[in-house]
Every structure is written in structure tokens, then in C-alpha cells.
Structure 1
């Protein structure tokens, strides 16, 4: 994947070929598409993988190849097929549209958010041939007036309007109740439709060794393990946010793509002035609503802001400075990292659901999911500051 400032952050470089596992995935995927394109039932191809396992990179490469065959002058089984790549994430959609500008096989209209595509296909009674869905765990699982979605489940709707659906799915990256997927929620779809699943488990983004990955995974399960040692990965704990920010600025000057990001623990109202994130002596504004075509992480001025899960999910950074806000604490009686939903400021994430039972464990899981997303952004380094004094003390003691 690219690591310089000017490049889309999950695009493969010319030198970076797909890994053997990714190549196997692409081969299986094309075999599946050609087999199921003309079957009576929609075929589902599900790709699982944790943050940083290269899901978007292989999806982008496979979709480019699919569209090249669709638009080829030479007769192929996929010539003339009507295909789309869907993602329910504004910043990632911008990256995909950037890729379209660099690739003769792609058009910007190939990339869509789910609701407009569903509504158009329904209105015109059309069926798409192949629909790729990146970050399918962000699809809505209830109607949503704000997003003009009147159905009950966006995945159901996309399946109903497609011959083959290829979806990337990771329940550990669900960030809102309105798109909440239990790990078992895919099972009814898989029981009903012919399907194949493929698991990507090699970490491509975080260059740290297994100790580093295990430490992050442990943290997001409430365990504070011994601090890992890895000469090739810079994991640092800070007593104050200002020196952490100073170091992020130095890394950005040195290698680019280094940013401050934080849990959604600091008040923020869209289009109502400037809202700040505080971390000890540090005070920086939250990311602003980005109306440009350039993704947040690629704009130089955002070095002076703090990114959220919504601006950074799915992207590579070189170095990530992560502020763990007041909702993330430590229970000394049980020696566990804990999260406190009542201190989480992302009201949109916790909009009430009457169909999910007791919401508190789900709210806790959403906060831990967001921490996992943030901690797995940095390729070469993760810097941490905890606002909660008890958690900060235990982190520093490592």
C-alpha cells in the first residue's frame, strides 16, 4: 500500500503485488462470479478480516479487473456486465473515486453509496450483475430517514437487486447501533443463498510483530498486557498530549501521513462552530466537515486537527497519535480496561434500538470496536495518551 502523502491510502503501489493469500482470494472470487452470474439465486461471496488485513486493497484491485473485462472489446464471460462498488462511508468513497481518475477501466459512477443505488435499481426495476460492498458492516440494519433509506436492511435490498454480491465484513468494526450486526447476523443470508467465505488474516497495515497485534487485541478485550517490544514498530505511551502531538508533527514532516485521532469522547455538533479535543496540555479542534473531494487524511491542514473514527476508518496512516477519551478507563479491582458508554459523546452511535434487547453491552462493544479501528491505523507507529488518570497511570507503568 502507498505510504506517501499524495497517494490514495489503500491503493496498491505499482511495485506492491497482491500477497499469495490475496491472489488466491482474487482467483476464487472470479471463479465464483463467472459460475453464479447466470444462476437463478443471487450468489454471495463474503470476505472476512480484521482492520489492516488488506480487504479494501484486494477489493479495489479485483473491481478494477472486473470493470476492465466488462468494458473490454474482446468477448469475455464478463463483457458488458453492469457492476458497482458500494461503500457507506463518505471518506472511503472519495478514495475510490480518486482511483477511478487514475484507472482507464473505471468510471466515477461505478462507485456508489448504498441508498442511492438501491433506490435507483428499485425505481427502474433493474438488476445489477455484480455488486462489491466494502465495509458491509456499515450497512444499515434498520430504516433511516436521514439517509432516505426506507427498507429494513440494506444488504437484503442489495441482494434483491443483484446477481452476485461480494461483501467485506468485520463485526469488530461496527460503530453504530443503527448498523449493528451481531456476528451471527450473516447466518440467515448464508443459509438462504449459495455462498463462499474467505478469511484474510495477515496484517498488512500494522508492521508490528505478533506481540504488537496481540497487545492491541488484548486492550480491546479489556486486558492490559505487558508492553511489546519490536524494533520495527514505534509504540509509545505519553503522560501528556502535547509532546505526543509534537512527535506526530515531526513524523509527518519526515514521512508524511501522520495524524492525531481520538475516541468520540469530546462534544461535537456538526456545523455549529469549532469543537475541541483536549489531552492534558494539548487542545486541538475536531476534524471539520470535509466538503472537498480530498479525503481527510490526505489534506495537509488536517495535521492541525484531530480525526475521528468516521474520517479515518479504512485508511492507512504511517504514524497514529491516539487520544483515549474519558469513556475509556481502568478498573483496578478487577485489573481490566473498561469503557463507560455514559461518557461517550457520539450520540448518533447510540440511537435507540428496540429490537436489540439490552443495549449496554452492545454500546460497550461499539466503543471497543472504535478503539480497535483507531489503534490499527498506524503502519510504523502508535502513540497513546489516556485522558483517564487511572488508565494513564497503568499504561505509563508498562
Structure 2
């Protein structure tokens, strides 16, 4: 059993550091010259820091003193334990980089490649003890937040200092190879990275941009990881000579605000590079982008159900496009290379470009490449749970773009839709069905006090009558149980001071990770016993934008089913279900009950 006796020794960081550090000894342990340690160099005035590991702390400090930007740092903290070895310090270095960057006090001078993600003897035992080191740093006033608070924060979830999975590394390698060829040959290319909910598309996009800016600014650090799938030395040499124009498009307002906050914690990357499609089109007026990266590309808009048609039409006119051109057309026209992170199953607005139109636009591109992310990172229920939910809801649209293997194990009903054996049992994932909405809300609120980031969401089946009401209003939007209100804020609702009787809609939670989610199926969705099919009632659906597809019943049905599938896959640890329609409740009950 591992039990740390953590030693942290502090030294001034200057030209005398090596000689001071080399004197740090205890018994036969020469901690400063011949022992595995992890160190942090920082400056409280400039709020910058660097984290590293070494077997010779004194020599490594002297090497850092020769780096010009390191000279802005003032103090070095060296951490060790008598049980440390090389594998442990590589792992601890990665741990501290991830958590200190997300703590938000310091901007790290570290690059984001080569973070440790390998196994070693008794790794779990060592990692449990890492929290002791964190608590020591907290007691010394070096870090601010606790581990649990950091893990619930957006700065942690979207941090570029993450160890990529093999799946992500494979896709990153291919992206960089395509980028290098485009730069060298002055080619144009479109790369589409497809992946379902929770496959880490946004994480990979942020990691990519951090890496590219390190290459561009010549602050890239080669960690020389032999097992890494990513070889970027050639690209590094090219980008040092080229001043590439790079932009990052995030169509969704809430996610855009969140990522701007994350980018503020990164050294050398301006948050202004995060743009709307309109801002990118305007910025490309003088010269096109060499590269535009678009996250949540399924949220790019077409000219349907918009709030400001004149502004949209002006961009089309300025770009020399037809009036019905889409924001995807804008991106292609405004850049030489595009990287689109895409999941058609998460398209939840009528203004979103339909997958058929999206595919048609891409098919017209001469030089394009499709890549696929498959590994589920968010939901502890794994890929099986994601597939199960889409099968239960009979959302066939999911099958056209994502993992075709779903159909291989599916059994066809006479109607032609797919089904799976009813159950609610998934390892490490809680799936519960409720007959009392108040009981479900009480459980969600209890879990929110324990874990944070637990909330209830619902289909848009009630008017938002409290939209402009004060916080203490006695009015209620959702007239079930004790009565509930819609989200009081539209932007970043997840991180707001939510009330215990407050419920979110699809537009407030898409792109966010929750610990537990409670999903209310509203009266706009029901089960038809005669047709033996889940149906929707347009008259009870209250989203004015959603009604833009109301003349096409099957489109509206698929649209609403997709919303519920998306809501049910927001939870990391579990999902709870309450259904208003009695027939739908009995139809779904066996699927969500162990």
C-alpha cells in the first residue's frame, strides 16, 4: 500500500538555483541531484507557471534559467517522496499540469503534448496519493480550488492539457498530416471529423488549436514520447516560417462563451480567435483564413427560422453567394482548409443545416477527408448506453451518420424500426424511472448538493410565461407536480445559481456535461397504441423556432425525438426519467427499469 510522506522544498529561481538545490539531501537521498522529482516554477505577479519532472533538479533548474521566458518566474517548488520512480513523476507531472491549469490562477508556459497516459505498477495506489500533494500546495497558498470543484469546472473539462486517447491521437495525427500537405502544396481541403455525443470532439478541437499556436509561436515542446501517434516535427519547422491565419468557429453561444473563458487561461492564444460564422466571414474579407476549425458544425445555420434575416443576407451578398447559401458555405468560401467537428444526431434546431444538405455541400468539394471518433468519453454507460437510447426512441436518423454497427445486432420489428431488449441496467451508470416528478426533482436536488452539475431538463411543451418575471415570482411555467419554471437565464444556465424548482430546455444544456440529468418527457410526445409508435402532437409543442418544420410531420417527429435522445445523453453518472403521457410512460417503463 502506497502512503506518501510528501516533501516540498522551495527555492528562489535565479542564477543561483542550481547550487542551492544541489544541497537538498536527507540521509542517503540526494533529492536535488539524483532523485525523481516534480517541480513547479511560478511568478505570482505575472501569474505564470511552468511544471516539469526530472531526475536531476539542480541541473534542470539551470537549464530553465537559460530560457528567456522562464526568467520571468521567481520561485521553484520541488516535490518528491521516497517511493517515487520515473513512471510516477511522469504521471504526477501530467496530473499537476491538468489541475493547475484548470485551477485558473496561473497561465502555464507548458506545451500540451506528451502528457502521460500509460499504466505502471500500482498506478491507482499512487494516484490516490496525488491528492495529498494537492492539499499541500493548497495549504501553501499555491493553488486555490479543491479537486472535486476543479473536475466540475469548464476550465478542466475543456482544458487543452489533457492526455488524448488513442482514438483522439489517431485522428489528430491524420489532421496534422492533411494540414502539412495543404501548407506545402498550397492546396484547399475540407476535413470532417464525425463523432457521437461524448466522443471528445470539443476536447480534440481545443487541444489542436493550443498545439497549433505553440507551433506558430515557437513555444512547442517536444516531449519525445516514443509511443505517441503524433509526429509534428516537420509541421513545427514549416509553421515557424509561416504566419498562418487561423480561426476557431463555435456556432453555439453558450459554448462560445465557455471556451472564451478557457482560452483566457492559456498563454499565447487570443480569445478573439473564437468567432461566430458571421465574424469569421467578415474577418476573411481582406484575406482568407489558412485554416478554420469549426466545433459543433451540426449547429451551423441555413436561411430558415432566423431572428435576423437582413444580417444573414448581407453576409451572403458580401461573399458573392446565393441568398439561400448556408454558414457552411461561408466557412468554405472564407478559408483554404476547414476542419469540421460534426454529429448530425445533435442537430436540434430547424435553422441547423439538415444532414442531407450538409452532405450535398461537402460532396461538391473536390478535396475532402472523413475521419471518425468512436470512443465514448463522457457517459459512464459507454457506447452501449448511447446506442440503447437511440434504439429505444426509434430515432433512425442517428443510424445514417454514426456507427453502422448498431444495426448489426438490432432486431427489426414488422414496422421496420429497430428495438433492443428492454432493460435499465448499465455498469457504472444509474438509470431510474419515476412516476412522481416531485420525487425525481428531490433526488436531482439532493445529488446536486453532493456532486454539483445535476439538474432537470424537459421537452419544450410549456410556454415560458416567467421569462421576464422577477426571481421570486409565484408563477409557474411547467404545471406538473408542485409546479416548476423554465431556466431563468439562457446563456450558461448550467453554471448559474439555479433554483431547486428550475428546469432547463435543450438549448441550455447542449454541449454541456452533467453529473446526473433528470429528463421530463412533456405532453407533446406520446405513444400511439394502435400504430405502436411514438408520436408527437404539434399543438402541444411550444418552441416557436421548432414549429418551422411543423408542415412536415415526420421531420417534426424526428426533430423532437432527437431532442430527447440528446437530453438523455447529457449525464455522466446517470439519467432519471419522468413521462407525462400515461401510454408513453408504460411503453418506456421497462426500458428504464432494472
What TM-score does the superposition give when structure 1 sets the normalisation length?
Answer: 0.88
Partner residue of 1:239 out of 426, 435, 446 = 435
1:336-365 alpha-carbon deviations (Å, 9 max, x no partner): 322333322111123369xxxx62222111
Aligned counterpart, 1:88: 251
Q: How does 1:102-121 map to 2 (within 5 A)?
A: 102-121=265-284
Aligned counterpart, 1:67: 213
Aligned counterpart, 1:177: 350
C-alpha distance 5-299 of structure 1, shift in aligned 2 (>3 A) = farther
Matches of 2:300 and 2:527, distance apart in 1: 32
Residue 39 of structure 1, CA deviation? 4.7
Matches of 1:299 and 1:163, distance apart in 2: 39
C-alpha distance 18-279 of structure 1, shift in aligned 2 (>3 A) = farther
Q: Does 1:78 align with 2:224?
A: no
Aligned length: 388
Kept in 1, the 8 Å contact 2:523–2:580? The answer is yes
Kept in 2, the 8 Å contact 1:83–1:130? The answer is yes
Residue 89 of structure 1, CA deviation? 0.7
Matches of 1:158 and 1:393, distance apart in 2: 46
Matches of 2:195 and 2:441, distance apart in 1: 31
Q: How does 1:257-268 map to 2 (within 5 A)?
A: 257-268=453-464
Residue 303 of structure 1, CA deviation? 5.2
Partner residue of 2:484 out of 284, 302, 306 = 284
Q: Which stretch shifts more, 378-387 or 326-335?
A: 326-335
Q: How does 1:283-322 map to 2 (within 5 A)?
A: 283-290=483-490, 295-301=492-498, 304-322=501-519
C-alpha distance 188-40 of structure 1, shift in aligned 2 (>3 A) = farther
Q: Does 1:194 align with 2:367?
A: yes
Matches of 2:350 and 2:513, distance apart in 1: 25
Q: How does 1:220-231 map to 2 (within 5 A)?
A: 220-221=393-394, 225-231=421-427
Kept in 2, the 8 Å contact 1:47–1:197? The answer is yes
Q: Does 1:217 align with 2:390?
A: yes
Aligned counterpart, 1:391: 584
CA RMSD of the aligned region, Å?
Answer: 2.7
Q: How does 1:243-258 map to 2 (within 5 A)?
A: 243-258=439-454
1:31-58 alpha-carbon deviations (Å, 9 max, x no partner): 1112113655531110111112111111
Aligned counterpart, 2:174: 28
Aligned counterpart, 1:364: 557
Matches of 1:279 and 1:21, distance apart in 2: 45
Residue 271 of structure 1, CA deviation? 5.0
Matches of 2:275 and 2:353, distance apart in 1: 21
User: Which secondary structure state, in structure 2, belongs to the residue aligned with residue 278 of structure 1?
Assistant: coil
Q: Which stretch shifts more, 51-60 or 179-188?
A: 179-188
Kept in 2, the 8 Å contact 1:277–1:306? The answer is no
Kept in 2, the 8 Å contact 1:208–1:230? The answer is yes
Kept in 2, the 8 Å contact 1:86–1:112? The answer is yes
Matches of 1:283 and 1:37, distance apart in 2: 58
C-alpha distance 262-224 of structure 1, shift in aligned 2 (>3 A) = farther
Select the structure with the greater relative contact order (CA < 8 A; seq sep ≥ 6): 1
Residue 266 of structure 1, CA deviation? 1.5
Matches of 2:151 and 2:585, distance apart in 1: 32
User: Which secondary structure state, in structure 1, belongs to the residue aligned with residue 572 of structure 2?
Assistant: strand
C-alpha distance 236-395 of structure 1, shift in aligned 2 (>3 A) = same
Q: Which stretch shifts more, 268-277 or 148-157?
A: 268-277
Matches of 1:276 and 1:183, distance apart in 2: 39
Matches of 1:210 and 1:120, distance apart in 2: 39
C-alpha distance 252-73 of structure 1, shift in aligned 2 (>3 A) = closer
Q: Which runs of 5+ in 2 are unaligned?
A: 1-97, 99-147, 221-235, 317-324, 396-418
Residue 392 of structure 1, CA deviation? 1.7
Q: Does 1:335 align with 2:532?
A: yes
User: Which secondary structure state, in structure 2, belongs to the residue aligned with residue 390 of structure 1?
Assistant: helix
Matches of 1:251 and 1:13, distance apart in 2: 29
Aligned counterpart, 2:340: 167
Matches of 2:246 and 2:507, distance apart in 1: 26
Aligned counterpart, 2:294: 133
